[in-house]
Structure 1
C-alpha cells in the first residue's frame, strides 16, 4: 500500500481507491440503453449519476492543483440537476473520463501536504461546524461518491441486474 505524505489522508485514500473499484463494479453489465432509463421519470438515470461521479473526480483533481478540465463540466458541475433537454455523453465516454483523471488524483493525494489540505476552500454552504478547506471538501466529494454509488446500486436492482459486487481488481492501482 502506498504511503501518503499527510496522515490526514489515511482514511480518504483507501476510500478513494475503493470507489475506483466500485465505479467499475457498479457499472458492470449496464448497457448504454439501460443507463438512460428513469423510473417513473422521478429518478436520475445512471448516465447522470456516472457524470456526477466523474465531476467529483475532476473537482478533487482541480483542488489538488491538476489543470485537467472535466469535458462535461457544463452538464454536471456541482451536482447540476438532470435536464432531459440536454444531450448527455455515453456511459463509455464517462468511463474514459473517470479513468483519465483518477490515477492523476491518486498521485496528488499521495503527495499532498498538510499545508495543501489546510488551504481555505469555500463550499458555499455556510455550515458552522465544518471548516471550509481542501481536506474537508475532498471528504465531501467522497461522501457524494458514496451517495451516487447507492443510487446506482438501487438502479441496478430496478433494471433487473444483480447487486453491485465488491470484487477487487488487484491491477487497479488508483
Structure 2
C-alpha cells in the first residue's frame, strides 16, 4: 500500500481507494437506460449521483492542486439539483472522467503535507465544531462519496439488479 506523506491521511487514503473500487463495482452491469430512471419522480437518477460523486473528486483535486476541470461540471457543480431538461452525459462518459481524475487526486493525497492540510479553506459553514481547513474539506468529500455509493447501491436493488459484489481489483492503484 502507498504511504502518504501526512499521517493525517492514514484513514483517507485507503478510504479513497476503497471508494474507487466501490464506485466501479456498484455500477457494474447498470444499463444506460436504467441509469436515467427515477423512482416515482422523487429520487435523483444514478447518472446524477455519479456526476455528484465526480464533482467531489474534482473538488478534492482542486483544493489539493490538481488543475483538471470536470468536463460536465455545468450539470453537477456544487450539488446542482437534478434537472430533467438536461441531456446528461452517459455512463461511459462519466466513467472516463472518473478514470481521468481519480489517479491524479490519489497521487496528490500521497504527496500533500501536514502544512498543506492545515491551511484554512473557508466553506461558509459557520459551524462551531467544524474547522474549515483543507483536511476537513477532503474528509467531507470522502464522506459524500461514501453516501453516494450507498445511494447508488440502493437504486441498483430497486431497479432489480443484484447487490454489489465485493470483488476488489488490486491492479487499480487509485
Q: TM-score interval w.r.t. the shorter chain?
A: over 0.9
TM superposition shift of 1:100: 0.2
The answer for the alignment partner of 2:139 in structure 1 is 139
The answer for the alignment partner of 2:55 in structure 1 is 55
The answer for the alignment partner of 2:91 in structure 1 is 91
Paired residues in the alignment total 174
Show structure 1 runs of 5+ residues with no match: none
Cα distance in structure 2, aligned partners of 1:7 and 1:30: 37
**Is 1:23–2:23 an aligned residue pair?**
yes
SS in 2 for 1:82: coil
Cα distance in structure 1, aligned partners of 2:135 and 2:165: 29
TM superposition shift of 1:161: 0.5
**Is 1:45–2:45 an aligned residue pair?**
yes
**Is 1:154–2:154 an aligned residue pair?**
yes
Cα distance in structure 1, aligned partners of 2:146 and 2:24: 14
What does residue range 54-133 of structure 1 map to in structure 2 within 5 Å?
54-133=54-133
Cα distance in structure 2, aligned partners of 1:74 and 1:128: 32
RMSD: 0.7
SS in 2 for 1:4: coil
TM superposition shift of 1:165: 1.7
Q: Could you give the per-residue CA deviations for residues 67-117 of structure 1, whole angstroms, max 9, x where no partner exists? A: 100111111111111111111100110000011000011110001000110
TM superposition shift of 1:123: 1.8
Cα distance in structure 2, aligned partners of 1:166 and 1:144: 20
Q: Could you give the per-residue CA deviations for residues 43-64 of structure 1, whole angstroms, max 9, x where no partner exists? A: 0000000001111110011000
Query: Which deviates more from structure 2 when the two are superposed, residues 78-87 or residues 131-140?
Result: 78-87
Task: Point out 4+ residue stretches in structure 1 off by more than 6 angstroms.
Answer: none
Show structure 2 runs of 5+ residues with no match: none
